Structure 1
C-alpha cells in the first residue's frame, strides 16, 4: 500500500498537481481518490462521448452524428491500463474495447450511407484489425470495394476473412459470407435483398445466434490471451 500511495503522489507531482486535492485518507488508514476533484480522465471522457453519440437516432447519416463519434475516437488511445492484469482491469478493458468497436461500426455505417466509402473502409479496416473474426464487417467491406469497382480488393477481403476464421476457429466462413463473395464476383451490382448477410438486422434468428457465438468465441479468445499473459509474468 505504501508503495502504491508513493507512486500516486509521484505521478500527481509530475503533473504539477498537489496530492492533497486528489487523495483522501480515512481514520482507519484507507486511501482513495477524491472523485469530485478537478481532474480529467480520458477513459471517462471517451465513454461519455461514445455513449452519447451512440444513443443518437439510429443511422441517419448526418454530419453531427459522425462528428460526435469521431470526437470520441480522438480521445481513445488504446486498451485501458495495458499491462495491468487485475480482474477489475481486465473487465473494464474489455468493456471499453467493446464500446470502441461499436463506435467504429456505427461510423462505418453512417459514412457508407452518406457515400463516403473511403472513410467507411478506413474505419471498417480499423475494426477488423481489432477483431479479425467480425464476418459482418468483412462482408460490408467487400460490398464497399465492389461499389467502388475495386474487385481485387473485394476478393482479397474475403480471403482475409477466410484466413482469420480458419486460423482462430479452425472452420470456414459462414455460408452467407461465401455466398456474398461469389455473388459480388459474378458482377451483381449489389447484394440481392434475399441474401441474408451476417450483419445486424439482416439475417434471420439462426444467423444472429451463429454470429453471436462467434463474437463470444472471439471475446473468449481475447480474454484467454490476457489471462495467459498474466500467468506467464
Structure 2
C-alpha cells in the first residue's frame, strides 16, 4: 500500500485476497464431485454480517445479499445431506441456519424431519413446541398448517412406537448410542435457544414493531449467504 498526498492505493505487486470475492468464487464452482466441499468452504468463510457495525444505508443491500447467499449455501448443504441420509449432519446445518434466521418455519420442519428420521421423535416434538412458543411470544401467531400436520404425524408415530416397544431397547450398545445422541441433541437445542433469545433481545432493543405480521422467512425456502 502506498500513500501520496490525500490518496491511498494498493501496490499492484502485492498479493491481495478479498474474502467476499473468494466466497463468491466458491459458490460459483459447480463441479458436482466437489460441490459439497466448495459449499462447506464458503460457509466456513462467512463469519457474520458484511461490514457489521456500519449502519449507513449504502451497505445494507450488500449485507443482505451476502447473508442470503450464506443461507442459500446452508440450505443446499442440508438438502444434500438429507438426500444422502446423513441425518446428524443435516441436524447440525439446520441449527446453523436457525441461529441466523430463528423464524424460518420451513427450516424448523426440515429439522423436525431430520430428528424423526434419526428415530428421535421426542426431539422433533420438542422442536415444534419450542418454535410454537417462540412464534406466539414474538408475533402472536401459530405455526402454519403444514407444520402442524408434520407435528401430528410425528406424534402418531411416537405413540405407535411406544405401544409396540422400541426395537433394540434391550441392546446395551443401542442404549448407549441413544444416550450419547440425546446428550448431543440437548447441547444443540440449548445453542439454538440461546441464539433465539439473543435475536429476540436485538429486536426488542431496536424497537421493531412486528406484532401481527407473519415473518417473511416462513415457508419461503430461503436460500442465502453472506
Q: TM-score range by the shorter chain?
A: 0.5 to 0.7
Q: RCO higher in 1 or 2 (8 Å CA, sep ≥ 6)?
A: 2
CA contact (8 A) 1:47 1:96 kept: no
Counterpart position of 1:39: 16
CA contact (8 A) 2:94 2:111 kept: yes
Q: Determine whether 1:75 maps to 2:45.
A: yes
CA contact (8 A) 1:139 1:180 kept: yes
Counterpart position of 1:146: 116
- Give the C-alpha shift of residue 45 in structure 1: 1.2
CA contact (8 A) 1:132 1:164 kept: no
Following the alignment from structure 1 to structure 2, what is the Cα–Cα distance between the partners of residues 216 and 157?
18
Counterpart position of 1:178: 148
Q: Which runs of 5+ in 2 are unaligned?
A: 161-213, 219-226
Q: Determine whether 1:168 maps to 2:138.
A: yes
Counterpart position of 1:101: 71
Matches within 5 A, 1:17-166: 18-20=1-3, 31=7, 38-50=15-27, 52-53=28-29, 56=30, 64-166=34-136
- Give the C-alpha shift of residue 138 in structure 1: 0.6
C-alpha RMSD over aligned residues: 2.7
Following the alignment from structure 2 to structure 1, what is the Cα–Cα distance between the partners of residues 139 and 146?
17
Distance 1:175 1:120, change over 3 A: same
- Give the C-alpha shift of residue 33 in structure 1: 5.6
Distance 1:151 1:33, change over 3 A: farther
Counterpart position of 1:15: none
